[in-house]
Structure 1
């Protein structure tokens, strides 16, 4: 019986080759898309889930009350971990850690230096997190403040081996800080699905020493992780700790709560103190896209199967006449669908294996397509879903015909069936139009954020972190850099423009300040000439100048700061910072020192020529290559043993939108796939329509109808279907793109031509698809159509 059914399936596929290949291409393309997205979604959902104590592992989040609402951050006071450990018996471990935002210079040999990403953390860090130590004791590795734990890769870079290096000395250097430490452990290179990536770990006690006067409850300069005791009620515990910081610092405006650590990656956005999504939005979005693309492919199967029903009615009638039950026919047609799906799956797996490197490049992932229980079950699930979805309607449709009717060769299409088929095509093209609009809007917004005037000039400015002799003799180095041909200017700063340091309001004061007012400022420490080099405009006053004395006692604020402070005629007035009176000498025009997702915040600039973390060099346009080569030569001579690792401000700015760029790229590919699959279905339907109307076409041509008239006649119904799809899709696409743009404080205005253009593109594609088949039918010789009459 199975052999008989397989033979029938083979014969049907051979008989309807065109339909077979259209369905094969459509289904395999849809499944390829679904499998790639499934790999990406599985990886996203698995980030940080590998820790053994995942269900008890939390991060302390900080809520700040500010005039514009509640701001939530993952950084709080460095004293918080110790206080929680001592005062809360529900906590098994509390671990403080520094933010990971700076690279350090490491050297195990005076002649060899490497740049690595490091962090400071409490002694229990490797106890609560599942980062296995290959050597060393996880409970003791960070107890000594002079300890360092390094990764396998870092060990190889420093010593050329991972053997017998426990106890060896390493020197680490950050701006203005240099310490000698001892290797106490080696950890296995971190998995790619860890959101926290670092190359080495230093003791938290050393970090507290570095903070010095900044070690108080008013500063947000540390991350706190906790592991709760089993059975602890999270809601009750959050109520218990909410006011802890306020009890420690009476003037504090901070409240705290715990959030599951593994949720931070996907649910990282907050709105007025409440979780407002994050990367989970893209996980849901692309999951829906995968489902919709598979549905579009299934619609092709349904439509083409029912469209060719007139060519299979005698088969149905004969089988029913000799006793075949309807259930038997349903199983046969479902078997056809399943076989088609499994063949498509085999082709899809081949395509996934072929396309995975390119997909990884687009998504920035390291996905692999390796067999495992989860993958096999998912493949079976996707295949069954697709096969049943694609085959259910044709099976039920074909198996219901009456033998007495179908053996006469007559099949009367009911109005409901015709509308169902048209409705499916409308659904296909509506989704395609939504994809097209989304691609247009996303790309336009990305172009907008890339080209918008930020209020400063980031072009042709390279930067590199200060280390070695550069840190010790900065002014001498800057003088030599300025003398390099092709260099316009050079200066230094503390921090960077895309990640400025925030301070609490307890450290600030000014004339007329309301004591109850909560304001947070962003801060940048700069050297002379930096504001001029960046092209930051002054609304009032002046920038820092070597022609004036005591410039380190002066401050420049931006327009947003003056507005929130409520100062009138601010130049010359006093801005008190940490008890120090600073004279306001200038007001800078607002510029975007963070991404365009956010409004410009209050900001001030101080002159800190002796405090710096990076050097900025502006070079002449068109001379980048030779100037960088000269700078590299100078750096090697001035700072022997250190690599000239540099970047460009423009690239650093663009990196803030890497997620949006990836979404834009993926959207383009998915839109193209959706349109391709939709057009395949439309192509097949147009071919069947033309075939059924061949005699009508012949008669019309005999009566004098032109080729153009016949093409228009055959295209008319499909044009109506596509127009209906466009009308339905445009308001839906407007809603979707508006929601996405709302994530940006600065965004494009949705213009009518985005939607009109998408509709026009869909219409032209549909006309070309249908027109090729209509033109082919219209050119048929009437004698060929009518010779059997």
Structure 2
């Protein structure tokens, strides 16, 4: 009996959908766009939350991180000392295994006549492969990295160098010096892992290349540990901190410094779950800057867009309530109970939601390639078929159907059949007010998205166009690897007289982000209680000239002063301010084991992203330490300048491929999260507005239909077309205006909080709120006017024919 009743509900729902084609189309189209938005965001959110959860022992894997305390400020870092991993494994019983992980930079890889720079080569302990269960294709994970010159490569690298050949046992050369035997291949690392690599070599290779630092005070590598099942994280943190403090204390030879360190060690070590690393991305001072904020933002956006679609459904249901009142009355007369009617109306709304889900899945599949390109993911239809995703889709559909159908199910089912069949039913004030509140809510949410889109766009534009304190245009940088450093001076001299090259210099740090920092800066008159971290870079001559950094005092490095090569510093204004010196030039300064004289003070410039404030910076002259060549090209024919540089490179470094990057693009890449956010918010804001317009169009159509006779009489009595247009649009315009006034303060508070993620941010002026309001008003006016003009221009005879 129940199955027959259910089938009857479905048949009736299908008949009603067919009967009200226009309204059903608007409902299904709106829900389709809303659910599509939810599916795309759900794909992204699930992926972000799944980082490194695929490892067999994921719940027991942690990254070692540290907090440093400098003059009351906490400075968080995730690099650790080289000896930390083996040291804590030997002394902390809760640690089952450890592995160290270090990037090797751009490595020249050669096999026969193939040679490429690869930037995803990593040095790891052999235990890395057992701790982290990246799937192997060939080789034995238990022994793959046991030999000193063994190497494990990804399937992408295997195909790149060996095609269809079996790579096991083949020998490749790194940086023209080091021969490695391939002992394993593994599947390409999934995009949902923060550990991205294409090649793994034994960690002892860092000793062979001179990179290894046997110091407990120098932080350079990532350390991962696996704990026993029931280990207490706070207790393990205390034990690791104690081990590190003891080893650091052993390095002090000055009794006074040892006493100060023991009284205030300034460091605390903690373990962060591997599955949380991607979500946190916390480094430096201030709040964590991970991706959680974007997960919250896009989850809210998905909810907002779907809510707007549901409001469409409810709005049109209230508008059609009079038309369905007699249907409800007749059903009650023939014996239908209220519960039956509630089931009937919910069947209709859930059926439309199910239809929308089918269309949404098809639409999602069709836009996946474009969405993947936008968010840099590799989603396929297989992701949609995962159990958690199927459960999510069903949940979204049912919740949408029930919420959207709640008004007709609960309100219409309560009609009294006697009053309805006597014609005493009226939609009344409450129904009209409810509909207006829905329109208000819908446009308030849409305007919030428009304002959010505008502010994100302006902030990114602000970051991309702010004066950085140096000129990033027309500058390329070339990574120096292997023995290219040995002939760098020859390369530099070869470009000096080229008219297409203005300046050549070099930098130890990546030019767009000078990230190396440390404590221990000393100068005459320094307060013993002052603890600061100073950023550091080693450069070549002409660095300031190549980057076009302004000097405020003193001079730059010069070959005219032979002492510059043995001990000279440039500092920025921020460091001079902290030193408390009116003029720091000629002051003695000691940092990172280098002691010398400050020869010049640079004007503050942004050497990190604008998320961070300008920090104290010291630059030393050390041409032998540079890892990047910086070349400023003459403006005009940039391709010709690059060709000239390439010609010089290939003449001197014939064994190394020519690889260059533009500095301005490197700077822009630091804001990729914000750029992606801007694009996604623009996309979803457009979807929200489109859905809102669909609903407004349907509501305007219904209103125009209801007032056809009224306007027929008005036209007969001499009303003008503009006058009737005003009457039709003023009601909707009023509610859009109120929606603006409601949305503005909410948007201001939300976006002000988001802007606090940036140390340097745009001014949050009123113009963007006014422009967003005018845009929303214009869109609403155009949507309503389409139907208004149609009614205003209609023949009144047609409207009054049957009166």
Q: Does 1:115 align with 2:114?
A: no
In structure 1, the residue matched to 2:190 is 191
Cα distance change of structure 1 residues 156 and 18 upon mapping to structure 2, 3 Å threshold: closer
Cα deviations across residues 348-384 of structure 1 (Å, max 9, x unaligned)?
1111111111111111111112223333222222211
Match of 1:258 among 271, 279, 297: 271
Match of 1:708 among 709, 722, 735: 722
In structure 2, the residue matched to 1:365 is 377
Match of 1:723 among 721, 727, 737: 737
- 1:484 Cα deviation (Å)? 4.2
Cα deviations across residues 191-235 of structure 1 (Å, max 9, x unaligned)?
221111112122222324655784212211121111001111212
- 1:667 Cα deviation (Å)? 0.6
In structure 2, the residue matched to 1:313 is 325
Structure 2 regions of 5+ residues with no counterpart?
250-260
In structure 1, the residue matched to 2:241 is 242
Match of 1:287 among 269, 283, 299: 299
Cα distance change of structure 1 residues 700 and 714 upon mapping to structure 2, 3 Å threshold: same
SS at match of 2:657: coil
CA distance in 2, matches of 1:497, 1:435: 36
In structure 2, the residue matched to 1:344 is 356
- 1:579 Cα deviation (Å)? 4.3
Equivalent residues of 1:111, 1:641 under 8 A apart: no
CA distance in 2, matches of 1:187, 1:12: 56
Q: Does 1:216 align with 2:223?
A: no
Equivalent residues of 1:114, 1:157 under 8 A apart: no
In structure 2, the residue matched to 1:430 is 444
- 1:272 Cα deviation (Å)? 5.8
Match of 2:315 among 298, 303, 306: 303
**Alignment map for 1:40-59 (pairs within 5 Å):** 40-59=44-63
SS at match of 1:312: helix
Q: Does 1:126 align with 2:126?
A: no
Match of 2:701 among 674, 683, 687: 687
CA distance in 2, matches of 1:288, 1:52: 32
In structure 2, the residue matched to 1:171 is 173
**Alignment map for 1:503-522 (pairs within 5 Å):** 503-506=517-520, 508-522=521-535
In structure 2, the residue matched to 1:556 is 570
- 1:281 Cα deviation (Å)? 1.3
Match of 2:625 among 611, 615, 625: 611
Match of 1:335 among 330, 340, 347: 347
- 1:704 Cα deviation (Å)? 2.4
**Alignment map for 1:576-725 (pairs within 5 Å):** 576-725=590-739
**Alignment map for 1:417-496 (pairs within 5 Å):** 417-467=431-481, 470-496=484-510
Number of paired residues? Answer: 782
In structure 2, the residue matched to 1:151 is 154
CA distance in 2, matches of 1:239, 1:417: 64
CA distance in 2, matches of 1:706, 1:465: 74
CA distance in 2, matches of 1:113, 1:659: 29
Q: Does 1:35 align with 2:39?
A: yes
- 1:480 Cα deviation (Å)? 2.1
- 1:428 Cα deviation (Å)? 0.7
Equivalent residues of 2:512, 2:663 under 8 A apart: no
CA distance in 1, matches of 2:235, 2:335: 69
CA distance in 1, matches of 2:167, 2:217: 43
- 1:10 Cα deviation (Å)? 3.5
Equivalent residues of 2:104, 2:123 under 8 A apart: no
Equivalent residues of 2:550, 2:603 under 8 A apart: yes
- 1:257 Cα deviation (Å)? 0.7
Equivalent residues of 1:245, 1:255 under 8 A apart: no
In structure 2, the residue matched to 1:85 is 89
CA distance in 2, matches of 1:185, 1:648: 35
- 1:776 Cα deviation (Å)? 1.8
- TM-score with structure 2 length normalisation? 0.93
Pairwise CA RMSD: 2.2
- 1:633 Cα deviation (Å)? 3.7
- 1:290 Cα deviation (Å)? 0.8
Cα deviations across residues 72-117 of structure 1 (Å, max 9, x unaligned)?
111121121122111100110122222x372211223376344342
Structure 1 regions of 5+ residues with no counterpart?
none
In structure 2, the residue matched to 1:533 is 546
- 1:70 Cα deviation (Å)? 0.3
Equivalent residues of 2:92, 2:236 under 8 A apart: no
CA distance in 2, matches of 1:113, 1:743: 38
